[in-house]
Each structure stands twice: as C-alpha cells, then as structure tokens.
Amino acid sequence: MGITVALLVGVLVATGFFLLLGRSLLRQIIGLTLLSHAANVAILLAAGLRGRAPILGEAPGPLTDPLPQALILTAIVISFGVTAFLLALGYRMHLFRGNDSHEQ
C-alpha cells in the first residue's frame, strides 16, 4: 500500500512545483495547496498504514499513530488560512498592477 501513497506524494509534489514555477499567481496558489497536500500525506505515511483509527474502545487491535494525525489536522487548517491570505494579497496586487502575473 505504501507504494501507491508514495506515488501520490510524488505526483502532488511534481504538479505543485510545476504550477509554482508558472506565471499566474492564482495557479501558483493552487500549486502551493497541492504541495501542502503532499506534505500532509507524507506525514501520514510516518504514522504507518496499519492499525485502526486512534479512537479507544471501538474494536480490538493496534491503533495507528495518532500524533502525525494531530499534526496534519492543524496543518490543514493553517494552510487554509495561508491560502486565504495569499488570495487576498493576490487581489490587492492585482488592484495595483492590473494583472495577476507578478513579473517585474
């Protein structure tokens, strides 16, 4: 199973960087969002892919590591906040420059 999740990380990194290297600001923000997905999925790999959800008293068996999940949970919300901030910044820049491609 790890190989498919690792492949997902690789594709997310590649597409994220590809968009980040482009001209359009909105596409760069899309790229950053893809990169944060990649980071989150990679952290989940550190939790291991075996074991059940880390909630006590449901079914027997080993629990998967809850710590990476707690890290990802807050990372998701923070990257949402940063994305929103970048979008606002992009719009502000567009007001001044007249286009969203931030070339000099």
Partner 1 sequence: MLGAVLADDLILLCAFWELTSLASFFLIGYRHDTAEARAAATQALIVTAVGGVAMLAGFVLLAQAGGSWQISALVGKAAQIVAGGLAALVLASRVMSLHQVLTWASTGLAYDRLYEEALRGAKRLTDVYLTGRARDYYAYIVLFAVVLLGYGIASTGIIIPPSVGGVEPGPLISVAIAIIAALAAARLGLLVAAILALGVTGYSVSVVYLLLSAPDIAITQAVVETVSLILFLVALTALARAESGYQPRPVSDAALAVAAGGISIILAGMIEAVSGLPRISEQFIARAGEAGGKNIVNLIVVDFRGWDTMGEIGVLAIAALGILALAPWRRLHPPAAHGPRRGSRDAPRVPPPAEAPMTSVILRTIATVASPIIIAYAVLLWATGHYGPGGGFVAGLMFAAAIVLRAEAFGIGRLNRRWDLLIVAGLLLAAGSAAVPLAVGAPLLKHTLVEIGGRTFASSLIFDLGVFCLVAGAALAAVCSLSEAA
Q: Contacts with partner 1 in 68-97 (CB under 8 A)?
A: 69-70, 72-74, 76-78, 80-85, 87-92, 94-96
Regarding 60 and contact with partner 1 (CB under 8 A), the answer is no
Q: Tell me the site size for partner 1, rule CB under 8 A.
A: 88
Regarding 59 and contact with partner 1 (CB under 8 A), the answer is no
Tokens describing residue 15 = 């597409």
Binding to partner 1 (CB under 8 A): which residues in 9-28? 9-28
Q: How far is CA 10 from the centre of its chain?
A: 13
